[in-house]
Structure 1
Amino acid sequence: MAVFRRTMASGLLFTLSLALLGWAVEGQGNGRNKKEVSGQTSLYLGQHRDIWRPLMHTTVNLSEIRSIKSSFQVRTFDPEGTIFYGDTKNGEDWFVLSLKDGICMMQISKEDVLVSVAGGPKLNDGKWHTLEVSNEGKFVILLVDGTSGLEVGMQSKQTEEVLAGELRLALGGILINEEKLIVQFGPQMDGCVREGNWLNLSLPWETDVEELWPCYQNIKSGSYFPGSGFAIFNTSVFPIEADGEIKIDFWGDFHQMDGTIMSIKGSGQKPMFILETNNNTKEVTLTFGEEKISMKDTFRRLAITFQTDSLQVLQDTNEPKTITLSISLVSHPGYLTTWKEGRLAIGGLLGEGEENIVSQFLTGCLEKIQVQGRDLDLDLAVKRTSVYSHSCPA
């Protein structure tokens, strides 16, 4: 069995963890209700699951390691999320690579040393970027598109020891309690990896998801709803303005969508507000209580404003003009209470019973969503399924 000194092991933990990112989607059973994944093609990281649970994982004997350099490409519009995790000693020593604010962040825990470092260029521009990681003595070096990104040195005061046994690897999640992280971050990552070149290892990876999501060849910024998913928020997290206004804005090609864009309801009530679009009739319909308005004009933005006595709907059309519609709220005095205590669903129709029951899913791309003037991050939803939160197929 190969013998690894502590300093070399730090680099190996880092670089071998990167191996996970190169394996592609080729599912085969292994008798343990797990799907084995291998290959070198693209892999989507943001598949729905428990937010910290890895998408894939594997275990390798340290004696099998022969290379300490790895490279891969990553593409995302998401500013934050887990890329991969690796550990030894069953999680006593661990390493995490993620994005935060669009830049790479490494966190390492090893014996008496805790390190967190972030830097390099922003990577969440929707372009493919090449990352290369290598170990040089006590230093781990990250290159981004061929130029210096991060360099981390680690040296413990404890006696160097022989490191043997197994290394655990995980993609898109971690195998330790998230409270152990030095810097907290949102783990969900809408992004893809491809063209991995990993340590000359050829072992299978395992995943317990039924079907792995695809990476689209071309993408644009936005949130994509494939017709089977939604995002639910507690409306209480969106403060009401001093004048009582509630404003929600959507951008996109509404005539290329189909299904429910948004619904709002209180606990145990019928939906108070529904916004839906029909791709066949090219009609966008807004329902508030028993009142309904339909819009057939071509527009790229829809601004909905709940005021104290009216509901204003503004359409920005392809021409330099706006169309404003309004509904009186005199017959709906309880809408503010519903907003303070209700739920907002993006991409589906909330049911009348359980708050989380959603139907009539949206198919299409919302290029931008704002609530009260702030961009809405679907990763922050209290419940989210089957949605690409930061990218749409182009």
Structure 2
Amino acid sequence: MNYLKEVVILLSGLYLILLCRRVSGDQRQISSKGVINLAHRRSKWTPLMQMSANLSDITSIRSFFEFRTLDPEGAVFYGDTKEGRDWFVLSLRDGIPEMQIGKADILVSVKGGRKLNDGAWHLLELRSEGKFVVLEVNNKVELVVGLHSKLVEDDLTGKIRLALAGMLVDKQKLFHPFEPEIDACIRGGHWLNLSTTWDTDSTWEPQPCFSEIKKGSYFPGTGVAMFNTSDLPGLKTEEAGITVEIFGSWTGTTLSLQSTGFEYVLGELDGNKDVKEVQLGLKEESESVALPGEPATLTFTVLKHSLVVNSVSELETESLDFFSMWKKGMLLTFGGVPGDSEKAKSTHYLRGCLEKILVQGQVIDLDRALYKHTALSSHSCPTEAMNELTKSSYKAFILAG
């Protein structure tokens, strides 16, 4: 069994354990009016939280809340009746609001309005006006969707369900599929006319929302993001090789590359090399690790028989064809070393903001990762003021170490 399969099986087992806990564990209740970080969840499509009420208790099909994100795509708000036979979801695509509605034999998808992923707080209001669903942004109507079916009964009975950052129906019902994960925060919510709290998984730990944000992927010193290289852009020319570029301010292990019988680590590790396994750390003169607040650029180049960091050859071996290994599938991990090995345990996980990750010139979205730790923020980092806290933590770590 190859390395990638072993890791996927391990992660699948952990997910099943968490799923069983979610099914059997007690629900946790969260204030519906407080600040809620939508980013940190374990399952892509399962909502972060949900609530339900009898339709007979509803006097106004109207919800409003403040919303902030730098993420261009993801699920924001969901609602349904008739146990999911009639449903609605508000999401972002390219930063623009998109509403999809399923009712009887009809599926509708409409996208429009201003971009919302500018990092500013926006007041969103969703309401039903007869056969129309209306989206307002900052008290201005941005999107109106009309829908009518002769197969639908107008008399609504039973329950209505609401959810955040996910869906309660199968994703296969979507007219226009999208990536559901969203790095966003909401606050000051009013959901229909209900004072009900949100229900969420009892194991979920609420994460604070940064007071000020900037673009990037934030690694708090816990967890990694893993990709299968066969899913990433591949070789263009042998001379140029495959290039991974990282821009930002960080400390700790930047990345690792693994396949069966091979491991390369770019971080604060002692270097050693043998025939079956390669474990290399940064050279003392390398510029690829930076304190938070000190911008840095790392260029990691994969050539046919060598690995190069910032134009300095780190590994040369005629016995390995890295181009073939990349195409077949290796595990490229940002932020540390995956698994439960001694090497993984000794890793100093990356702490800081990776403002941009490029593979062959294409931006890499952590939401597309094979696995991403729930503590990571895919599209937002704290601003420099917050980074001072990170820098202080790093200095304290050095003094203690």
Q: Do these two structures clear the TM 0.5 threshold for a shared fold by scoring above it?
A: yes
The residue identity in structure 1 corresponding to 2:83 is: N
In structure 1, C-alpha distance between the alignment counterparts of 2:377 and 2:280, rounded to whole Å: 33
The residue identity in structure 2 corresponding to 1:334 is: D
CA shift at 1:168, angstroms? 1.5
Q: Identify the residue that residue 4 of structure 2 maps to in structure 1.
A: none
In structure 1, C-alpha distance between the alignment counterparts of 2:196 and 2:167, rounded to whole Å: 20
Going from structure 1 to structure 2, the CA distance change for 1:159 and 1:95 (only over 3 Å counts) comes to closer
Q: Identify the residue that residue 293 of structure 1 maps to in structure 2.
A: 283
CA shift at 1:241, angstroms? 2.0
CA shift at 1:61, angstroms? 0.5
Q: Is the 8 A contact 1:271 1:352 kept in 2?
A: no
Report percent identity of matched pairs: 44
Q: Which protein has the bigger strand share? A: 1
Q: Tell me, what secondary structure is at the counterpart of 1:127?
A: coil
Q: Tell me, what secondary structure is at the counterpart of 2:77?
A: strand
CA shift at 1:198, angstroms? 3.0
Q: Is the 8 A contact 2:32 2:189 kept in 1?
A: no
Q: Identify the residue that residue 376 of structure 2 maps to in structure 1.
A: 387
CA shift at 1:290, angstroms? 5.5
Indicate yes or no: 2:236 matched with 1:241: yes
In structure 1, C-alpha distance between the alignment counterparts of 2:346 and 2:63, rounded to whole Å: 43
Q: Render the CA deviation track for 1:83-135: whole Å, top value 9, x for unaligned.
A: 12111111111111111111111111112322111111111111111112233
Equivalent pairs counted in the alignment come to 345
Q: Identify the residue that residue 112 of structure 1 maps to in structure 2.
A: 105
In structure 2, C-alpha distance between the alignment counterparts of 1:388 and 1:196, rounded to whole Å: 22
More divergent stretch after superposition (207-216 vs 86-95): 207-216
CA shift at 1:161, angstroms? 3.7
Indicate yes or no: 2:239 matched with 1:252: no
CA shift at 1:308, angstroms? 4.0
Q: Render the CA deviation track for 1:242-274: whole Å, top value 9, x for unaligned.
A: 225010101012xxx33211000112x2413x2
Q: Which runs of 5+ in 1 are unaligned?
A: 1-30, 279-283, 315-323
Going from structure 1 to structure 2, the CA distance change for 1:173 and 1:291 (only over 3 Å counts) comes to closer
The residue identity in structure 2 corresponding to 1:294 is: E
CA shift at 1:309, angstroms? 5.7
In structure 1, C-alpha distance between the alignment counterparts of 2:252 and 2:123, rounded to whole Å: 38
Q: Is the 8 A contact 1:308 1:329 kept in 2?
A: no
More divergent stretch after superposition (151-160 vs 285-294): 285-294
In structure 1, C-alpha distance between the alignment counterparts of 2:222 and 2:359, rounded to whole Å: 23
Going from structure 1 to structure 2, the CA distance change for 1:32 and 1:350 (only over 3 Å counts) comes to closer
Q: Identify the residue that residue 339 of structure 1 maps to in structure 2.
A: 326
Q: Render the CA deviation track for 1:6-28: whole Å, top value 9, x for unaligned.
A: xxxxxxxxxxxxxxxxxxxxxxx
Q: Identify the residue that residue 91 of structure 1 maps to in structure 2.
A: 84
Alignment counterpart, residue 174 of structure 1, candidates 167, 176, 179? 167
Going from structure 1 to structure 2, the CA distance change for 1:159 and 1:374 (only over 3 Å counts) comes to closer
More divergent stretch after superposition (127-136 vs 361-370): 127-136
The residue identity in structure 1 corresponding to 2:353 is: C
Q: Which protein has the bigger helix share? A: 2
Going from structure 1 to structure 2, the CA distance change for 1:138 and 1:327 (only over 3 Å counts) comes to closer
In structure 2, C-alpha distance between the alignment counterparts of 1:53 and 1:236, rounded to whole Å: 27
1:304-323 matches, cutoff 5 A: 304-308=300-304, 311-314=307-310
Q: Is the 8 A contact 1:286 1:292 kept in 2?
A: no
Going from structure 1 to structure 2, the CA distance change for 1:329 and 1:131 (only over 3 Å counts) comes to same
CA RMSD of aligned residues (A): 2.9
In structure 2, C-alpha distance between the alignment counterparts of 1:383 and 1:357, rounded to whole Å: 18
Going from structure 1 to structure 2, the CA distance change for 1:90 and 1:310 (only over 3 Å counts) comes to closer
1:36-75 matches, cutoff 5 A: 36-75=29-68
Going from structure 1 to structure 2, the CA distance change for 1:32 and 1:299 (only over 3 Å counts) comes to closer
Q: Is the 8 A contact 1:250 1:303 kept in 2?
A: yes
1:124-163 matches, cutoff 5 A: 124-158=117-151, 160-163=153-156
Q: Render the CA deviation track for 1:177-206: whole Å, top value 9, x for unaligned.
A: 110111100010111111223333111221
In structure 1, C-alpha distance between the alignment counterparts of 2:85 and 2:366, rounded to whole Å: 33
Q: Identify the residue that residue 318 of structure 1 maps to in structure 2.
A: none
Q: TM-score, normalized by length of structure 1?
A: 0.80
Q: Tell me, what secondary structure is at the counterpart of 2:253?
A: strand
In structure 1, C-alpha distance between the alignment counterparts of 2:82 and 2:227, rounded to whole Å: 39
Q: Which runs of 5+ in 2 are unaligned?
A: 1-23, 288-293, 384-401
Q: Is the 8 A contact 1:131 1:144 kept in 2?
A: yes
Q: Is the 8 A contact 1:271 1:350 kept in 2?
A: no
Q: Is the 8 A contact 2:268 2:282 kept in 1?
A: no
CA shift at 1:377, angstroms? 0.5
Q: Identify the residue that residue 263 of structure 2 maps to in structure 1.
A: 271
